[in-house]
């Protein structure tokens, strides 16, 4: 395959079925209708990746505010196998990282990865993600059921606490 152009596009009610189909092919878990309904509400946090005008990848994120932190959670980020290693995943992830950077108020960005998914783990590590913890039996109905939480930290608790102390 020769080089092509990669563009990101919005997820809309008109193309949500393409996202659903892509996720069915790329991920070993299935997502319910509520997942797709919620994805339509997140704007820039959900994108389809087009390679030469064909949908080949996607990302879906949400903002978590738990444990006194504001965190970006990557629910799904995937590229169809034949289109991997063309920089498409990088373009997708950089889009999400730019949102976090521009916002400036995220403590970290995180996601769950099946413990045997070495390709995904190595991919995220290239962008400064680290294994933060291992969750036993995170996945239902797939093996292995354990997941790693991969996390990239933007600011430490000390920075946050010193800012709060100043105000």
**How far is it, in rounded angstroms, from Cα 158 to Cα 155?**
8
Q: Of residues 86, 95, 112, 139, which has the active-site annotation?
A: 112
The two tokens of residue 138 are: 């995170």
73 is catalytic: yes
Annotation says 112 is catalytic: yes
What whole-number distance in Å separates Cα of residue 100 and Cα of residue 12?
22
Q: Which residue of the set 31, 73, 138, 139 is catalytic?
A: 73
Strands (E), 67-144: 69-79, 108-114, 130-135
Short-list 133, 121, 42, 134, CA closest to 89: 121
| Both structure tokens of 27 | 């991920």
Contact 153, 110 (CB under 8 A): no
Q: Catalytic residue positions?
A: 73, 112
């Amino acid at each position: 395959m020769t080089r092509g152009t990669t563009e990101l596009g919005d997820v809309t009610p008109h193309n949500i079925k393409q996202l659903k189909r892509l996720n069915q092919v790329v991920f070993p878990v299935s997502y319910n209708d509520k997942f797709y309904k919620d994805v339509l509400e997140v704007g820039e946090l959900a994108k389809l990746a087009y390679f030469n005008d064909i949908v080949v990848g996607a990302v879906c994120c949400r903002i978590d505010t738990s444990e006194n932190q504001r965190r970006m959670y990557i629910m799904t980020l995937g590229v169809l196998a034949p289109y991997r290693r063309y920089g498409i995943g990088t373009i997708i992830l950089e889009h999400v990282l730019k949102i976090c950077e521009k916002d400036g108020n995220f403590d970290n960005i995180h996601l769950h990865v099946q413990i045997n998914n070495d390709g995904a783990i190595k991919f995220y590590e290239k962008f400064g993600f680290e294994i933060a913890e291992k969750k036993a039996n995170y996945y239902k109905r797939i093996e292995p059921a354990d997941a790693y939480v991969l996390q990239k930290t933007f600011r430490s608790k000390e920075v946050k606490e010193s800012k709060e102390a100043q105000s």
